[in-house]
Structure 1
Amino acid sequence: MSYAILRTSKLKDKSKTTSAAEHNFRIRNQGNIDQSKSGENRLLFNPLNVDVSKAGGLTQAITSKYEDLEIKVRANAVFAQEFVITASPEFFENKEKGFIDTWADAQLEFMKQNFGDNVVICMQHNDERTPHLHFVLSTEEKRERTHKSGSKKMAFGLNARRWNPAFLKDLHTKHAEFNQSKGYDLKRGLEGSTATHRPVKEFYRDMERLEAEAGEARTWKGKAGKLSKMVATLADWLAEANPELSDATDRLKAKASVMSGGNPHAPEEMEKKGAGRSPQKL
């Protein structure tokens, strides 16, 4: 079973928010992007009508939202929050675009259920190695405030602190359960492990490593299959050369049939030792 992956990072000011928009809106050139597939990217959600042709469009839209809510943005406040949602690379292998788009629509549904009006925009990227979604959230929260006069009033203020490690831990669990309820074979990472939460800025390094490991695993899987055939052939030759070894060769062939790995150097070593020799030379 593949893993459901969710990462988050604080966009502490307007500058960082604009920088995120440059990537998400494909305004700056990046080496890891297949531009021939950029037309397959999707703007899934844009309730503020953000101008995605401009890097500053996202920051401007969020600023206007805060002004409409009469929020004063303090210097130490977190201006926005970014989430990235994806899955293990093998989850997307040999999947049609329709499957990936339906999966992406479900992730948007999950975020809207858990963050409501804080979801400002959602972009689906299909032009990188692994499909994924970028969500940018505004951080406002409506809560009761006490004025100097002692009177109390409901008002908006910025508060990203509520999305703390305990909240994110629970969110990871909900995310995996949600995907399973939608029929996706995705599981949560090990709960209670010593692994620390890794932010969006490390997302691409994680995915490149996972993709490399997946490619290596596919390579060794092919080599293991080759090795198992060689072992089975060798067992047949041994049985032909010495019928008294039939029990041993049967066990050898049984092991070959379930072989799924083993010494990664075994295929090369057997070839060097002449595993391809004829039965008469044994």
Structure 2
Amino acid sequence: MSNFVVCHMDKYKQADLGGLGNHIDRTKIPKNAIEERVKDNLELVKVTGTLKSMVQKRIELGYTGKRKLRDNAVRCCGFILSGSPEIMKQKSKKELLTWSAKNYKFFTERYGGENIVRCSLHLDEETPHLHLHLVPITSDGRLSAKDIFNKVEMQQLQTSYAKEMEEFGLKRGVSGSNRKHVSTSQYYKYVETNELDAEQILESPIAKEIVGKMLQQLQGLEQIKNMEELTKSTNKNYYERNEREVSKGVKRS
């Protein structure tokens, strides 16, 4: 049985936030979601507006730079936090709430609670997961995802996060310098061609290479089929722009 943590980050610009917020808030229920379960989704941060407006408010309060922000500046970093489906799907709601609280505490202590604008627990899909969004404001008041989430920090984050998740039966995938990048579009093309669902993905040969950095594949074949629709609702480059860092040589469970 696979028991890996999932901690995947994407960077979002101003143009991305409207569609992303609609997806998180279920303004339009995606095909892979179970409609009667939407009411079970929970928020760990008080929602005071749209994701876009909450990000903007945090920037107005926390950004002290003198320069006007560029239109293409990264305004929000979004994390998808989860674990191998066979582990996450076995957890009771109480266990998932405890897991969610631990995630929120971890990111609050590491990046500042004031910077976290949303933390949404989605229980309406096959695999429970968290969407956590934070505004990358530095301690000296700059907006810089590049400085906060540099290469060293991303490596340390994966290690530290996996350590915190051990109590939930999850661990980090194999780390090392022998890595490659696989684009999201390439990954989805592979999955669609082979008609795999979430469980089969984990048993496929290429899944062992990417299990440490899974994203939407944990949410089932329907979300994969829904990728084009979601892309159009946000930005035509919404997913094509994102790359996933993957580890080679992960041994079969």
- Shorter-chain TM range is 0.5 to 0.7
Matches within 5 A, 1:26-175: 26-46=26-46, 49-51=47-49, 57-69=50-62, 70-71=64-65, 72-116=68-112, 117-143=114-140, 156-162=141-147, 163-175=149-161
Residue equivalent to 1:4: 5
RCO (CA 8 Å, sep 6+): is it higher in 1 or 2? 2
**199, 209, 212: which one aligns with 2:200:** 212
Amino acid at match of 2:34: D
SS of aligned partner of 1:45: coil
Residues 127-170 of structure 1: per-residue CA shift (max 9 Å, x gap): 11110000111121132xxxxxxxxxxxx221100202321111
Q: State the shift of 1:185 in Å.
A: 1.4
Asked if structure 2 preserves the Cα contact closer than 8 Å seen for 1:73 and 1:79, the reply is no
**Percent of aligned positions that are identical:** 26
Supply the distance in 1 between the matched residues of 2:162 and 2:183 (Cα, whole angstroms): 18
**169, 175, 188: which one aligns with 1:185:** 169
Asked if structure 1 preserves the Cα contact closer than 8 Å seen for 2:89 and 2:127, the reply is no
Matches within 5 A, 1:198-209: none
Instruction: List runs of 5+ in structure 1 lacking aligned partners.
Output: 52-56, 144-155, 217-282
Q: State the shift of 1:194 in Å.
A: 3.2
Amino acid at match of 1:104: S
Query: Cα RMSD over matched residues?
Result: 2.8
**Cα distance change on mapping 1:7 and 1:201 into 2, 3 Å:** farther
Asked if structure 2 preserves the Cα contact closer than 8 Å seen for 1:4 and 1:176, the reply is yes
Supply the distance in 1 between the matched residues of 2:186 and 2:32 (Cα, whole angstroms): 14
Residue equivalent to 1:21: 21
Supply the distance in 2 between the matched residues of 1:159 and 1:58 (Cα, whole angstroms): 19
**Cα distance change on mapping 1:66 and 1:94 into 2, 3 Å:** closer
Greater alpha carbon shift after TM alignment, 90-99 vs 77-86: 90-99
Supply the distance in 2 between the matched residues of 1:202 and 1:73 (Cα, whole angstroms): 32
* Rg (Cα) greater in structure: 1
Residue equivalent to 1:255: none
Q: State the shift of 1:118 in Å.
A: 1.7
TM-score (normalizing by structure 2)? 0.68
Residues 175-216 of structure 1: per-residue CA shift (max 9 Å, x gap): 111112xx221111111053446789999998x754224689
Asked if structure 2 preserves the Cα contact closer than 8 Å seen for 1:112 and 1:119, the reply is yes
Residue equivalent to 2:210: none
Amino acid at match of 1:173: T
Supply the distance in 2 between the matched residues of 1:45 and 1:202 (Cα, whole angstroms): 34
Q: State the shift of 1:81 in Å.
A: 0.8
Q: How many residues align?
A: 193
TM-score (normalizing by structure 1)? 0.61
Asked if structure 1 preserves the Cα contact closer than 8 Å seen for 2:29 and 2:35, the reply is no
